[in-house]
Chain A
Amino acid sequence: MQQGRSRLRMLILSGMFAAITAVLAQIEIPLPLVPISGQTLAVGLTATILGSRFGMVAMLCYIALGAVGLPVFAEAKSGVHVLLGPTGGYIFGFIIAAYITGYILERTKFNLTMALVANIVGMVITLAIGATQLKFVLGLSWPEAMAGGVYPFIVVGLIKAFLASWIGIKVRNRLIQANLLENKIQKAAV
């Protein structure tokens, strides 16, 4: 029963982090071609706090919310066409980025250095998946896709990876102090 409760609690939390992602996604940094938003910051935070599996579940929940037509994506966009369109890969990438970021942290230590490494890896994955979809949907060559969908975002991405790991670790430590989060890795099966 205890295990059932902690699983249910984590599922509810994943739902809430999907909501937090939706809220943070509305904070927008305007850039041409591929807009950057608080979305990526939220992905890093979710993965740092919830860990790999539930972080991934939270991102899936977020994407499903957007897919059914609720305005949760950046710029209050929604719909399947945003996901299947040229920039949809940057959203799909969150699923894998959250999983990998959480996974690296679970396998090592929840400290600032590892969080930074994990978040940078997550950012690279998001950009890679995003650029791949950009390339195929728009029929670009690889150098063109990289120039349009990766290079302009590296610096901003690094800043955001730093912010996500810094805030993420700080929040995580406070939550552990407040006895709201167990220090060990969440072992409950998803």
Chain B
Amino acid sequence: MNFLSRIPIGQFIPGDSFVHRLDPRSKLLFTLLFVVLIFFADEPRTYIFLICFTLLSLFASRISLSYLFRSLKPIIWLILLTVLVHIFMTKGGSLVWEWKWFSVYEEGLRQAILISVRLIVLIIMASLLTLTTSPLDLTDGIERLLQPLARFNFPAHDLAMMMSISLRFIPTLLEEMDKIMKAQMSRGAYFDSGGLVKRTQALVPLLIPLFVSAFRRAEELALAMEARGYRGAIGRTKLRELAWSRTDGVFLVLVILMVVLFFLIRQW
């Protein structure tokens, strides 16, 4: 996995804020909890509470807003479209505005605002997780959280191994695909002309050598790993251990407070 730590790949912005120092497991679990809370929110006041908490987390993470806009940008059209759908399609409440066959109702306006706020809050909190946690830590966190699945024969322990293998082989496979393409073209294959059927047929002599070489490499790698005594999770030690720190304790208290407050506000 140290390949990941050396190359600045991914979205992680290094820092030393409160959010950065948190254990990846607590951040992952918190993000999931927050998503659930977002779907429990149905009143403007609960939304205001969630917005406040989001702003607080933003402040605590000291991430520049421009990074967040970058993750919001791809879904701006989707948000606009949803707003339009809700404004014109959701009926209920009193009539706010009417023009020929367009009619806007109170309920539609309300839904449009609430849903777009919900989306923005959701995207901001989820990107905060990837922005403040290094890929390495996140991988460790995911692996750790999937551990209970090992009881059902799921290879939770091997996930990090598999991820580093696929990462290591993405460039290799791309290179190989290029090579195979050139080799087939020199034998008279065309990849960028003809109809759909022709182009699909051209894919077969491209994919088969690619898969064959993937199978060969897997065979060799498995042999090499076995020869060096790889036994999966059995007796594995780690260079970097995830540890529960005082920051996580503080965070846990904060999160519990937040959840209690959220439901109090919701009931009130």
Partners in one complex: yes
- A residues bordering B, Cβ < 8 Å? 1, 4-5, 8-9, 11-20, 22-23, 33, 45, 49, 57, 60-62, 64-65, 67-72, 75, 77-81, 83-87, 136-141, 144, 159, 163, 166-167, 170-171, 174-175, 178, 180-181, 189-190
A170 touches B126 (CB 8 A): no
Cβ A180 vs Cβ B216 within 8 A: yes
B209-246, CB < 8 A from A? 210-212, 214-219, 221-223, 225-226, 230-232
Is B10 part of the contact surface with A, judged by Cβ < 8 Å? yes
A175 adjacent to B166 (CB under 8 Å): no
The prevalent SS among residues of B at the interface is helix
B207–A171 CB distance below 8 A: yes
User: Chain A nearest CB: distance from B87 CB in Å?
Assistant: 12
Q: State the Cβ distance, A49 to closest chain B Cβ, in Å.
A: 7
Is B29 an interface residue, CB under 8 A from the partner? Answer: no
* Surface stretch bound by A, among B43-51, B157-165, B179-187, B256-264: B157-165
Report A-chain residues with C-beta under 8 Å of the C-beta of B200.
Answer: 163, 166-167
- Interface pair A64/B163, CB less than 8 Å apart: yes
* Distance (whole angstroms) from the CB of B162 to the closest CB of chain A: 4
Chain B contacts for A138, CB-based, 8 A: 78, 82, 85, 115, 119
B153 touches A69 (CB 8 A): no
Instruction: State the total of A-B contacts with C-beta under 8 angstroms.
Output: 193
B203 at the interface (CB under 8 A from A): yes
A65 to B124, CA, bound (A): 20
15 A-B pairs (CB sep. < 8 Å) = A1-B226, A8-B232, A11-B158, A16-B166, A19-B166, A19-B170, A64-B163, A70-B9, A70-B167, A81-B130, A139-B114, A140-B82, A144-B85, A163-B200, A167-B200
- Nearest residue (CB) in B for A147 is B85
Min CB distance, A180 to chain B, in Å?
4
Q: Is the CB of B130 within 8 A of A68?
A: yes
CA–CA, A56 to B144, complex, Å?
A: 19
A13 touches B215 (CB 8 A): yes
Tell whether B189 is near chain A: CB-to-CB under 8 Å: no
| Contacting pair B71 A33 (CB below 8 A) | no
- Residues of chain B contacted by A78 (CB below 8 angstroms): 10-11, 130
Write the nearest CB–CB distance from A129 to chain B, whole angstroms: 16
Quick check: A15 and B11 within 8 Å, CB to CB? no
B212–A137 contact, CB under 8 A?
Answer: no
Nearest Cβ distance between residue A48 and chain B, in whole angstroms? Answer: 11
| Chain A positions within 8 Å of B97 at CB level | none
Give the number of residues in B that approach A within 8 Å (Cβ atoms).
72
User: In the assembled complex, which residues on chain A have CB atoms less than 8 Å from the CB atom of B165?
Assistant: 12, 15-16, 19
Q: Are B204 and A170 in contact (CB under 8 A)?
A: yes
Q: How far is the CB of A189 from chain B (nearest CB, A)?
A: 5
Docked-complex contact A85 and B123, CB < 8 angstroms: yes
Q: How far is the CA of A4 from the CA of B81 in the complex (A)?
A: 52
Report yes or no: B173 in contact with A23, Cβ–Cβ below 8 A.
Answer: yes
Select one of A14, A141, A167 contacting B204, CB under 8 A. Answer: A167
Docked pose: A67 CA to B128 CA in angstroms: 12
Residues of B within 8 A of A189 (CB): 153
Fill in one digit per residue for B79-115: 1 if any A CB lies within 8 Å of its CB, else 0: 0011001100100000000000000000000010011
Q: Which residues of chain B have C-beta atoms less than 8 A from A140's C-beta?
A: 82, 85
Question: Which A residues are in CB contact (< 8 Å) with B129?
Answer: 80-81
A8 touching B230, Cβ below 8 Å: yes
Q: Is B154 an interface residue (CB 8 A)?
A: yes
When the two chains form their complex, are residues A65 and B212 in contact, meaning their CB atoms are under 8 A apart? no
Interface residues of B in 3-50 (CB under 8 A from A): 9-12, 31, 35, 39
Contact yes or no, A57 B130, CB < 8 A:
no
User: Which residue of B10, B118, B212 contacts A180 across the interface (Cβ within 8 Å)?
Assistant: B212
The 8 Å CB contact of B127, one of A79, A86, A166, A171, is A79
Which residue of chain A has its CB nearest to the CB of B225? A8
Distance from B151 Cβ to chain A, minimum over Cβ atoms (Å): 12
- Chain A residues positioned under 8 Å from B11 (CB to CB): 69, 78-79
The answer to whether B139 has its CB under 8 Å from any CB of chain A is yes
